[in-house]
Structure 1
Amino acid sequence: MSDLNGKIVLGADQYGKAESRIVRIYRDSPRHEIKDVNVSTCLRGDFAAAYTDGDQSNVLPTDSQKQTAYAFAKQYGIPTIEEYGIRLAEHFVDEIEPVHLARIEIDEYLWERASADGAPHDHTWIRKGQEIRTATITVEGAGADRKVWVVGGLKDLIVLKSTGSEFAGFLVDDYTVLEPTNDRMMATSIVAKWRFVGTDADWDDVYSQVKQLLIEQFAVVQSRALQQTLFRMGEAVLEHFGSIAEIRLSAPNRHHFVHNLAPFGLDNPNEVFNVSDRPYGLIQAVVTRDDAPPAGPAWEQQFGWLA
């Protein structure tokens, strides 16, 4: 093995404030409203001196980024996480001179209004547990050169079907012990992220419809494999929304194995299962259009950047 002798230089760099939890209550009327978000900010720009020389003169403190996120929640509210993220990212690019690119990653925790005495209560909620809504907004440049990428999404959407799934005809080698099946339970926890074309969208409406399309396809597709189901999910979303360029899906198998009850003289026709969460198959796919515009840095998220 030969040694490398090239000059050592700083490569790509970025920094930001991760996971600022913000709860915004709207008290404009007797019936209050709530937004509950987890906000991460990430900046790229002229920061090389901070790394090579410890020179902080171009560095906006991460605490300042956090305080901006809280202040904007008050000043402008959080009508949708996409709108809030765009405003926040544009602020960093426009107002902080060394910043060339800003990316805002947001998780939204959903709440539903509690009932009291048979009616919805004005200021009490119950946390909804179905999924976490997500958005990633990336803004680069200013003026006519500005580019904005918006990625909507969800995670932790747990779904299960008791039939309508099979797995057979797979490649077999010397270490294969899995038996083929034409009737199995299928369960997973869906992560989906979809990249918009432009920023002119009804964010809430698109989100609710995409979620419903994903669930419907999971339910109705006679699945020969989870891979097929993911493609059908993505295909349905792109067919319905011309404003979405691509969708990325990740789904771990949540294995349910028919438990052997024969030692007790009991038949078990796919009724009692043993659930195993590890190890699990991790199925991932990108479903895209062949004319999709370039993604630029849209997918280069803060977490997992070094992966």
Structure 2
Amino acid sequence: MGIVLGSNRYGKAEVRVVHVARDGDRHTLRDLNVSTALAGDLDATHLTGDNSQVLPTDSQKNTVYAFARRHGIGSPEAFALLLAEHFVHSQAAIRQARVSVREQLWQRLGPHSFQRRGEEIRTAEVSYDGDRAQVVSGITGLVLMNTTGSEFHGYVRDEYTTLPETTDRILATAVDARWRHLDPDTDWDLAYQQVRDALVAAFVESYSYSLQQTLYEMGHRVLDTRPELAEIRLVLPNRHHLPVDLSPFGLDNPNAVFVATDRPYGVIEGTIRRDDVPAAVGEW
């Protein structure tokens, strides 16, 4: 039985780049964390230490900064596309580039003043093989809560079940969503805002009998809103808020006082997709 080299890639992780576009007194701020990963004809560097086909990861880092200056940063997706195409077309040994971006979001306070927007992070990942580009956008850390309009009952009970059924509970989550585009030529900022709005609206407007049901309603609303999207993947942690027993103090608790617990927590995951779209390029 022989031993062979399997799939491999290399790159630079978490290159922080902040770009300020100065249009008179009104500035536009982009705050990105960029990671690159390159794959191709790289067997020699693994097997013999021949680095003649290896673009140093330090050069990849410098490319991020140079492209920010040369091209600006219009959106995470557009910037990742530029980088991915550059690495594939400029390096003979590279067959595929993956560029992942996490954008820290800032809320405008004035022409050149900004405030961080809490936990929320915008994400983008581009994979390019010289012929086809796959763009996956996303959001993480979007914290949402409904203080009513949520039930959970009728579930399986076994000898280890202690959870009481409820017809009125707090439903809270921190949305982690990623959606795959069919068209690599899109108004990325508009698409992001409309997907975010659809996620929030579906959470607010849907009566929930389970977090699974809420997940489906959110994904369905997104695909209804943006017909060019192939699918959306959602991960929804259940941020539990448990009613406090106030009876030792002679007090009732009509769903007014809760303790917020950070662990353990339930996690609900699911993909909502169209049944007539091309398959993804590899894993995403």
Normalised-by-shorter TM-score class: over 0.9
Say yes or no: does 1:139 pair with 2:128.
yes
Cα distance in structure 1, aligned partners of 2:22 and 2:280:
39
Name the residue aligned to 1:75. 70
Name the residue aligned to 2:88. 93
Cα distance in structure 2, aligned partners of 1:31 and 1:182:
50
Could you tell me whether the CA contact under 8 Å between 1:24 and 1:36 is conserved in 2?
A: yes
Structure 1 runs, 4 residues or longer, greater than 6 Å off: none
Name the residue aligned to 2:174. 189
Aligned counterpart in structure 1 of residue 45 of structure 2, from 23, 32, 50 = 50
SS in 1 for 2:14: strand
Q: Using the TM superposition, give the Cα deviation of residue 298 of structure 1 relative to its aligned residue in structure 2, in angstroms.
A: 5.2
Q: Percent identity?
A: 49
Name the residue aligned to 1:117. none
Cα distance in structure 1, aligned partners of 2:196 and 2:27:
26
Could you tell me whether the CA contact under 8 Å between 2:42 and 2:53 is conserved in 1?
A: yes
Name the residue aligned to 2:4. 9
Aligned counterpart in structure 1 of residue 225 of structure 2, from 237, 240, 251 = 240
Name the residue aligned to 2:208. 223
Cα distance in structure 2, aligned partners of 1:234 and 1:87:
29
Number of residue-to-residue matches in the alignment:
284
SS in 1 for 2:78: helix
Aligned amino acid, residue 70 of structure 1: Y
Name the residue aligned to 1:19. 14
Aligned counterpart in structure 2 of residue 202 of structure 1, from 174, 187, 193 = 187
Cα distance in structure 2, aligned partners of 1:297 and 1:43:
14
Name the residue aligned to 1:303. none
Name the residue aligned to 2:60. 65
Name the residue aligned to 1:3. none
Name the residue aligned to 1:33. 28
Cα distance in structure 1, aligned partners of 2:26 and 2:172:
38
Q: 5+ unaligned residues in a row in structure 2: which ranges?
A: none
Mean alpha-carbon deviation: is it higher for 124-133 or for 80-89? Answer: 124-133
Could you tell me whether the CA contact under 8 Å between 2:139 and 2:177 is conserved in 1?
A: yes
SS in 1 for 2:140: strand
Cα distance in structure 2, aligned partners of 1:107 and 1:38:
5
RMSD: 1.1
Could you tell me whether the CA contact under 8 Å between 2:194 and 2:225 is conserved in 1?
A: no
Aligned counterpart in structure 2 of residue 124 of structure 1, from 113, 124, 138 = 113
